[in-house]
Amino acid sequence: MPQRRVVVASKVGLHARPAAVLAKTAAEQPVSVTIAKDGGQPVEAASVLGLMTLGAGHGDEVVLTAEGEGAEEALAAIADLIAKDLDA
């Protein structure tokens, strides 16, 4: 199962606007993507509420996981967003 580790760049973490942008992109992917803080329970990346309850703040490392055809591309698209300051 492909995974990616990425550091949250948004200054407010994965809350409000960054969570909405990320969830929209995740929902557009051909596979389901989960996201978790190290050692935490994974949540669906396509869920704004799930992303906000994750509690991932600026500088936290998160783990993305997906499975199936298109998983690597989906992970790359979502990882690119998380690595940007979406509030800038």
Q: Name the residues annotated as catalytic.
A: 15
Residue 84's identity, in one-letter code, is K
Q: Which two tokens stand for residue 50?
A: 């799930």
Q: Which two tokens stand for residue 2?
A: 């492909």
Neighbours of 38 (CB within 10 A): 9
Give the separation between CA 2 and CA 29, rounded to whole angstroms.
Answer: 15
